[in-house]
Structure 1
């Protein structure tokens, strides 16, 4: 895909949604960190249902750590992999208390050192909480990037590095939100809704649908 076409795709996505936001509910960097950690292999909707009950009760490292693993599980048991997630969040809270003054560090290495936090989660937190131009590649972004040929790669790390290389600076802060939402609602996995896609004429996907 050439540079002009890539810029036009990003411009249309921006014009359609100038101020994109995550669909996870949060009101602090710590709440975002917990929500993103819980969202692995789960929907944002299911995470929000759990955190809407959890955060009014406990939304600091001290408060969630005080719940204990079993206490936390009672709030997140509707989310997939809740046992291991409760263990990881509990341990992460202890590390935030002991090592970071109970604050979420604005540092990738410190974030990925937390239990349950990988590169993708760290990228989301750095981008959404702190405004870094990071690009967190999930299954939606991987699919959209490869289908459209915006940034092709064999795995999420390849696509992330390609996007970081080809996406102009003015789009970098918001591009992962645009691509996630596009993949979630238009360029869906089984049958993309090409007929209602605002970048359909620019997309280089060969098996386009009419609907």
Structure 2
């Protein structure tokens, strides 16, 4: 895909959604960190149901530590892998309190040193909480980047690096959100909604979903007298 097409794609995405953001509920960088950690192999809707009850009770590293592992599990038990996630969050909170004064660090190395925080989670926090031009490539973004040919690649890291290279700088801060929302609601894994896609004419996917066939006109037959 050439640079002109890429620019057109992001211009259209921006025009349709000028201020995109995550669908996870959060108010502080720490709340976002916890929510993203919980979202692995879980839906944003499911995470929000849990954190809407957790955060009014405990929304700082020390408050989570005071809950303890079992106390935290009580709030997140509806989320997949809640046992391991609770253990990781408690360990991460201890590090935040002991090494970072209870604050979420703004650098990748420190974020990735936290239990349960990988590259994708770090990228989400850096981008969404701190406005850094990072690209958190999940299954949706990986699919969209390859399917459209915006930034094809065989691995998540390859796609991330290519997106950061080819997306014009003015779009980088919001590109993560545009692409994930596009993959979640339009460029879906099964039966992508190509007929209603706002970038369908720019997309280079060869197997676009065709528009529905027109319904045959009903012929009115006058009853015989």
TM-score band, normalised by shorter chain: over 0.9
Q: What residue number does 1:15 align with?
A: 15
Q: What residue number does 2:71 align with?
A: 71
Distance (whole Å) between structure 2 residues aligned to residue 152 and residue 81 of structure 1:
31
Instruction: In structure 1, list runs of 5 or more residues that go unmatched.
Output: none
Q: What residue number does 1:116 align with?
A: 116
SS of residue in 1 equivalent to 2:134:
coil
Over alpha carbons, which structure has the higher Rg?
Answer: 2
- Deviation of 1:155 after TM superposition, in Å, equals 1.1
Please say if 1:190 is aligned against 2:178. Answer: no
Distance (whole Å) between structure 1 residues aligned to residue 16 and residue 136 of structure 2:
21
Distance (whole Å) between structure 1 residues aligned to residue 62 and residue 37 of structure 2:
17
Q: Which residues of 2 match residues 47-58 of structure 1 at below 5 A?
A: 47-58=47-58
Q: What residue number does 2:107 align with?
A: 107
Distance (whole Å) between structure 1 residues aligned to residue 69 and residue 116 of structure 2:
14
**Structure 1 runs of 4+ with >6 Å offset:** none
Q: Which residues of 2 match residues 29-48 of structure 1 at below 5 A?
A: 29-48=29-48
Q: What residue number does 1:199 align with?
A: 199
Cα offsets for 1:65-87 (capped at 9, x unmatched): 11111110111011111110000
Q: What residue number does 2:59 align with?
A: 59
Distance (whole Å) between structure 2 residues aligned to residue 176 and residue 105 of structure 1:
20
- Deviation of 1:32 after TM superposition, in Å, equals 0.3
Distance (whole Å) between structure 2 residues aligned to residue 168 and residue 21 of structure 1:
19
Distance (whole Å) between structure 2 residues aligned to residue 186 and residue 65 of structure 1:
40
- Deviation of 1:210 after TM superposition, in Å, equals 2.4
Distance (whole Å) between structure 2 residues aligned to residue 68 and residue 165 of structure 1:
43
Q: What residue number does 1:137 align with?
A: 137
Cα offsets for 1:9-49 (capped at 9, x unmatched): 01100110000010000000000000000001111000000
Q: Give the root-mean-square deviation of aligned CA atoms.
A: 0.6
